[in-house]
Amino acid sequence: MTKVIGIARPVVARVGTRLGLMIWLSLASTAVRGSGPANAAEAGVRGYWQEPSGAVIQIAQCAEALCLKIVALAPGDHPHTDVHNPDEKLRGRPLCGLRVGQDFTQTDSQHADGGHVYDPRSGRTYSGSMTAQGNTLKLRGYLGIELLGRTQTWTRVGQGHATCAPG
């Protein structure tokens, strides 16, 4: 008698039907793929996102909340420092590496809200929420209530994108 490694033989023996075997094989193949994000839908709001002007923003865990940081500047001729900041002392800080979002609470893998988003083009800060759907992120910035806001659509990019050097 050959020795069967693992649990396959006892489980198959108990399954007894072709449908049961197919279900078991499906569950086993899911377990083999691992628990990490296998596709964009599983990755949720975290990751690297390109906003409409071309800048790349990283959404990651910062302490107990999610934050957003510029990791690649948009191409073209534009300021590389925070020239529109309402605080004159901060207008010389580089945009590369700048935290432009913070305090987002992730309600599930696809949603985060309760955060604040800084727009370096205007120097204004808004309340924010975000929803991921596959390779698309809807970031909503608003003043007061979400109804009085604007949604921007970002596209997921891989880690192989160009990056900027802070400083």
The per-residue pLDDT for range 38-81, each reduced to its tens digit, is 445 557 999 999 999 999 999 999 988 999 999 999 888 889 99
Residue with tokens 């991921």: 132
How many structural domains is the chain composed of? 2
74-115: pLDDT as tens digits: 888 889 999 999 999 999 999 999 999 999 999 999 999 999
A 10 A CB-CB count for 129 gives: 21
83 in the same domain as 12 = no
Q: Per-residue confidence at 157, pLDDT binned at 50, 70, 90?
A: very high
| pLDDT attached to residue 167 | 57
71 in the same domain as 4 = no
- Distance, in Å, from the CA atom of 10 to the CA atom of 14, rounded to the nearest integer, reads 6
Please give the mean pLDDT across all residues of the chain.
79
Full residue range of the structural domain in which residue 72 is found = 40-157
72 in the same domain as 1 = no
